[in-house]
């Protein structure tokens, strides 16, 4: 997968009462919109599901052209994959820690002709990727404990990104390494140098008044 843009704003930090204008404020500087789905069970917070994503997709498509990156922080994701496909997701990422049968779930996502991602919590070892890496389109490295926006980046995850980059070069050079949590101007360069390709940014974009500038400022550090 070739990326046109490297910042994926997370709508978790957007104002949902004014979603269209929030998306418009990004000034079409993004390829992917990151959608954080939380179930109050896998993570201690609840956000939204397929029905709301359908609305988000409709609102976003009326103001620009985006791909929808659904990050499922939920237990039993297999039961909902089809609904997230129908809602308009282009990438569906599931958590390794929520799965007993990782291969089955990844195959299920791919059976709908969607990009399949596997997310790893900060303390989950990279070895979980060993046999599945060739089947994945994306690995999502959690750089905070999932559940909330606005947390601080956990530094030891940099080593993990480096390790996954090495694995990717050997076994799946097209793999996208996405990082999620605590990405900001001050640390994006070191995350990029470690090997990340796609950067989720919630508070460091929607927390700023000028979102297009916030995205440019992040990109400027690495491009």
Sorted by sequence, the CB contacts under 8 Å of residue 40 that are 6+ apart come out as: 46
Q: Verify binding: residue 69, Zn ion, rule CB under 5 A.
A: no
Q: Can you tell me the distance from the alpha carbon of 117 to that of 110, in angstroms, rounded to the nearest whole number?
A: 10
| Cβ contacts of 82 within 8 Å, gap of 6 or more | 112
Residue 36 annotated among the catalytic residues of the structure: yes
* Among ligand DX5, Zn ion, none, residue 147 binds (CB under 5-8 Å by kind): ligand DX5
Q: Within positions 181 to 210, which residues make up the interface with Zn ion, using CB under 5 A?
A: none
Would the CA dihedral through 122, 3, 72, 52 be positive or negative?
positive
DSSP-derived letter for residue 151 is P
Out of 133, 141, 175, 201, which residue is the one contacting ligand DX5 (CB under 6 A)? 201
95 near Zn ion (CB under 5 A): no
Q: Where does residue 141 fall: left (phi above 0), alpha (psi -120 to 50 degrees), or beta otherwise?
A: beta
10: contact with ligand DX5 by CB under 6 A: yes
Which member of 39, 69, 137, 180 is catalytic? 180
Does 211 contact ligand DX5 by CB under 6 A?
no
Instruction: Calculate Rg over the CA atoms of the chain.
Output: 16
Residue 49 in contact with ligand DX5, rule: CB under 6 A: no
Contact pattern from residue 160 through residue 189 relative to ligand DX5, giving x for each residue in contact according to CB under 6 A and a dash for the rest: --------------------xxxx------
Distance CA 141, CA 214 (A): 22
Q: What span, in angstroms and rounded, lies between the C-alpha atoms of 38 and 73?
A: 5
Question: What's the sign of the alpha-carbon dihedral 105, 110, 111, 113?
Answer: positive
Among 71, 114, 160, 165, binds Zn ion (CB under 5 A): 71
> Could you say which of 36, 39, 69, 137 is catalytic?
36
Which region among 7-15, 16-24, 97-105, 131-139 touches ligand DX5 (by CB under 6 A)?
Answer: 7-15
**Size of interface with Zn ion, in residues (CB under 5 A):** 3
Active-site residue 78, yes or no?
no
The alpha carbon of residue 49 and the mean position of all alpha carbons in its chain are separated, in whole angstroms, by 15
CA end-to-end distance (rounded Å), the chain: 19
List 36, 39, 137, 178, residue binding Zn ion (CB under 5 A): 36
Distance from the Cα of residue 209 to its chain's centroid: 23
Q: Return the residue of 13, 124, 172, 190 that touches ligand DX5, per CB under 6 A.
A: 13
Q: Which residues bind Zn ion (CB under 5 A)?
A: 36, 71, 180
Judged by the rule CB under 6 A, the positions of this chain that interact with ligand DX5 are 10, 12-13, 34, 36, 71, 144, 146-151, 180-183, 200-204
Residues designated as active site = 36, 180
């Amino acid at each position: 997968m070739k990326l046109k843009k490297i910042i994926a704003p997370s709508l978790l930090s957007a104002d949902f009462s004014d979603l269209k204008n929030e998306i418009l404020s990004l000034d079409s500087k993004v390829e992917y919109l990151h959608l954080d789905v939380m179930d109050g069970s896998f993570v201690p917070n609840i956000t939204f599901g397929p029905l709301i994503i359908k609305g988000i997709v409709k609102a976003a498509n009326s103001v620009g052209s985006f791909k929808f990156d659904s990050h499922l922080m939920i237990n039993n994701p297999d039961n909902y994959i089809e609904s997230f496909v129908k809602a308009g997701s282009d990438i569906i990422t599931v958590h390794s820690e929520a799965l007993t049968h990782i291969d089955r779930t990844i195959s299920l996502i791919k059976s709908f002709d969607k990009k399949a991602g596997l997310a790893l919590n900060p303390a989950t070892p990279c070895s979980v990727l060993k046999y599945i890496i060739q089947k994945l389109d994306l690995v999502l490295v959690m750089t905070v404990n999932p559940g909330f926006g606005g947390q601080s980046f956990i530094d030891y995850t940099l080593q993990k990104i480096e390790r996954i980059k090495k694995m990717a070069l050997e076994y799946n050079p097209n793999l996208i390494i996405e990082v999620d949590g605590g990405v900001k101007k001050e640390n994006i360069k070191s995350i990029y140098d470690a090997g990340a390709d796609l950067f989720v940014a919630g508070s460091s974009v929607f927390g700023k008044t000028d979102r297009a500038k916030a995205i440019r400022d992040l990109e400027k550090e690495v491009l």
